[in-house]
Amino acid sequence: MPTEAYNLVMPEKLSSCAVFASPHSGRDYPAAFLDRSVLNYKTIRSSEDAFVDQLFDSAPRHGAPFLTAAMPRAYLDLNRNADELDPALIQGARRQGHNPRVASGLGVIPRVVANGRVIYNGKITMDEARLRIDNYWRPYHACLKSLLSEAHQKFGQAILIDCHSMPHEAVAISGTGQSKRPEIVLGDRFGASASGAIVDQIESAFASAGLNVARNTPFAGAYVTQTYGRPGRHQHAIQVEIDRSLYMDEERIEPNQNFHAFRTLMDLVISEIASIGSEPARLAAE
């Protein structure tokens, strides 16, 4: 059911306890927003998880919902708390202790895009910030919460796959200590947002597809995993970061020649993840 805030594709039959969601692949850039920005269109897209929505769009065919944001991350960051307001950008916002994300310009209404490039010349009003949060942030998170609740109710557990991409340079200089550079980074907040057994199975799904996987370095998860990961309540949240160079030309923000092959590979991974835990829970429920 498409809305202005998000797009949700449900499977014909809900057969998986997994919920796939992509909060940063939105690319509906409002004309008024682009007009106010000092950046060109390509630069403002540098924070976008471009094409991640296409990489994971087979999830409903494997019995799992797929939720994607409509609005871009440069406009509103759904992987931040609604109260992470940046006083350097938003008129009337108060500083609430030291928040490194806000301080660096990456609050819920970002002040910068990748590499610290400033989006605006000046500030925006508090009313405008609240309007973005009310119109886009709250509906997205209300939908996500509902999907996880439905999965938990039906299967006895819920597994949120928080889908992202990362610049190739992020893993090139990450210093993970691995002999091979990670192509996938799974973030479970060092075990706080998901059980080790669940993360093991997700890692196995990617590793079986021939991908090199690391955990929590350089990305351990942010607001989404912190908020929705409750392993003690059988609700798990795992952030998945994919090296963009595997499927896109980062400079041009275009699919590369490997895109279709990698998308096919991802379908196999998604199928395996969607099967985690669902069958035994469903039989127990019946």
Beta bridge partners of 235: 158, 230
Per domain, the residue ranges of the chain are 6-34+50-73+140-285
Select from 254, 205, 225, 252 the least CA-distant residue to 54.
Answer: 254
pLDDT at 286 over 80: no
pLDDT of 220-249, one tens digit each? 999 999 999 999 999 999 999 999 999 999
214: number of Cβ within 10 Å:
22
Q: State the maximum Cα–Cα separation within the chain, in Å, rounded to a whole number.
A: 58
Q: Is the pLDDT of residue 115 over 80?
A: yes
What are the DSSP calls for 48-91, one per residue?
A: S-TTHHHHTTTGGGGT--EEEESS-TTT--TTS-TT---TTTBT
Residue 120 has pLDDT above 70, yes or no: yes
The average pLDDT across 7-34 equals 96
Whole-Å CA distances, 57 to 18, 262, 275: 14, 13, 16
pLDDT in tens, 48-80: 999 999 999 999 999 999 999 999 999 999 999
What whole-number percentage of the chain has pLDDT above 90?
86
Which burial class, exposed, middle or buried, applies to 257 when counting CB atoms under 10 A from its CB (0-12, 13-18, 19+)?
exposed
> Could you read off the pLDDT of 130-164 as tens digits, one per residue?
999 999 999 999 999 999 999 999 999 999 999 99
Which tens digits make up the pLDDT trace of 172-227? 654 555 568 899 999 999 999 999 999 999 999 999 999 999 999 999 999 999 99
Interval 90-104: pLDDT, tens: 998 888 777 889 999
Task: Give residue for tokens 């490039």.
Answer: 117
Would you state the pLDDT for residue 203? 97
CATH code of domain 6-34+50-73+140-285: 3.40.630.40
Nearest residue to 69 (alpha-carbon basis) of 109, 133, 30, 25: 25
Residue 165 has pLDDT above 60, yes or no: yes
State the pTM of this model: 0.93
> Are 18 and 274 contacting, i.e. CB atoms less than 8 angstroms apart?
yes
In this prediction, residue 282 has a pLDDT band, given cuts at 50, 70 and 90, of very low
Is residue 195 within 8 A of residue 236, CB to CB? The reply is: yes
